[in-house]
Structure 1
């Protein structure tokens, strides 16, 4: 099966794209790649209710075209706080490539934590719906058509991501593109 066929054969769970079984079986034995492409500008905003919207892609990605578009499998939308000079808990994560790992401890349950962000720690992709749930992290889900800074189906997005990623012991990489 070609990469194109692998990306085009997907179903939907809780509003999130779920790749077909052949990819799942193969992916459990290799590195796992996530890419977040931000859709809004990273201007410094003082209002704590403002947000940065993006899209989460799974699998190996590459960039093409004049607008640096991502070719890959779109998984779900994302929600982050605006850029605030990389201040802990009130700023989004700086763009770049980051190693990550799976965490299952604490009250947030299963989540992906970025490991090598300069001057920051505990940046995670976890369940949540609005800016008050973020604390400098990344929320997966589907943008709400009726609320500006809100994602719905966040729990379903995390559950589908957990099912796709399989083993918590394999390397995970997160690329954030502004």
Structure 2
């Protein structure tokens, strides 16, 4: 499967997952786990469950964003910290991995920025404000399914894209004004 086909397959699976009863985070994470080799056991999907509804329906960061971050982390995340006998050098190496150009935060920063760009928000309670009195209605489900599909596409593109390129992109909105 080429990159475009993989992205489409992940988007389609995430979209279908929602109609099977997966929550927003599970939809995205499971779709990536199904189509991308991560060497992670299938039980790792359990980690996504609590992120639905902006973390247990609390309404914070959209679960589809959390699922996308988890999926991209499964490929591009760190499995160990840089090691150096000199503590300061080790800290500098770790900071360079995250903040540098290329840097891992440049990859992950794209996910909420792209969702925010399209939907105006990243918090579940703001994205779904129209349906808070009728949470499980059809319009709400259709809206969330679109966000899930978009988050899956973003994750798939970041996973299948050239790591050097995507990790060198400029930061979008961020807490450090980088």
- Taking structure 1 as the reference length, the TM-score comes to 0.24
Structure showing greater Rg:
2
- Taking structure 2 as the reference length, the TM-score comes to 0.24
Q: Which protein is richer in strand relative to its size?
A: 1
Higher RCO (CA-CA < 8 Å; seq separation 6+) = 2
